[in-house]
């Protein structure tokens, strides 16, 4: 665990202890520290900014209600992201969202805004176009492929962690990632973007 991760883990454990002791301001610290990761996960999975806000709120509400059961010896961020991911999967299932419903330019633009700005001004336009192309391609994936691609490439989850998160067998995740990579490569090559970083 890096120094930053250890510091975050320590601050989270202290905040959880304060919440359990009845300090309502402690949970606000947890929300502030993890809101970007929770919202970003929901937005990447749904492609819908309003839904992502609702999902993030629901995820934090569920987390608050489950604070008595959370294991403070483990980092809090993966647990919160898992709750947000599960809420987003439920949202996708409830609405029967598929690739066609998630291809809009507005959703792609919302996702692109979540990506950090490129530090090199002369490269900003090209990098922004590449990020937008990647986001559009991700949004066009069928929901199961998009879920595993987001968790693998944007959150750096292992196959086992994706399996734990989704409940799908590791072999199924491997197949979904293989299909997602193939689709992303084809889509990105049509837009003149290389997808060399899409390895297992």
The domain that holds 119 is classified in CATH as 1.10.10.10
pLDDT of residue 65: 92
In this structure, are 148 and 189 located in the same domain? Answer: yes
Q: pLDDT at position 163, please?
A: 85
Same domain, yes or no: 111 and 181 = yes
**pLDDT (0 to 100) of residue 1:** 63
The mean pLDDT values, 10 residues at a time, for the chain of 200 residues are 78 92 91 93 87 94 92 90 88 63 40 42 60 81 86 82 84 90 86 61
Provide the pLDDT for residue 13: 92
Of 57, 74, 97, the position where a domain reaches its end is 97
Domain residues for the domain of 11 are 1-97
Which are the contacts of 187, defined by CB distance < 8 A and separation ≥ 6? 133, 136, 137, 140
> Do both 107 and 198 map to the same domain?
yes
Asked if 64 contacts 56 with a C-beta cutoff of 8 angstroms, the reply is: no
pTM (two decimals): 0.62
Tens of pLDDT, residues 132-147 = 777 788 888 888 888 8
CATH number of the domain enclosing 71: 1.10.1740.10
Domain boundary among 97, 115, 140: 97
Identify whether residues 92 and 16 lie together within a single domain. yes
b/e 6-22 (16+ beta carbons within 10 angstroms → b):
eebbeebbebbebbeee
d(CA 58, CA 87): 8
| Same domain, yes or no: 142 and 176 | yes
Please identify, among 76, 97, 118, the residue that sits at the C-terminal boundary of a domain.
97
pLDDT of residue 64: 93
């Amino acid at each position: 665990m890096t120094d930053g991760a250890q510091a975050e883990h320590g601050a989270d454990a202290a905040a959880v202890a304060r919440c359990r002791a009845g300090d309502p301001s402690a949970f606000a610290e947890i929300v502030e520290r993890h809101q970007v990761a929770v919202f970003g996960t929901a937005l990447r999975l749904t492609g819908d900014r309003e839904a992502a806000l609702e999902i993030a709120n629901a995820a934090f509400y569920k987390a608050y209600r489950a604070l008595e059961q959370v294991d403070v010896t483990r980092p809090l961020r993966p647990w919160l992201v898992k709750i947000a991911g599960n809420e987003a999967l439920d949202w996708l299932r409830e609405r029967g969202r598929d690739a066609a419903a998630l291809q809009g330019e507005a959703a792609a633009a919302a996702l692109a805004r979540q990506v950090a700005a490129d530090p090199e001004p002369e490269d900003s336009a090209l990098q922004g176009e590449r990020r937008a192309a990647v986001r559009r391609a991700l949004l066009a994936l069928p929901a199961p492929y998009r879920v595993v691609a987001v968790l693998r490439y944007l959150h750096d989850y292992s196959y086992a962690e994706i399996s734990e998160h989704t409940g799908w067998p590791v072999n199924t995740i491997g197949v979904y990632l293989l299909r997602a990579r193939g689709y992303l490569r084809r889509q990105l090559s049509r837009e003149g973007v290389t997808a060399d970083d899409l390895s297992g």
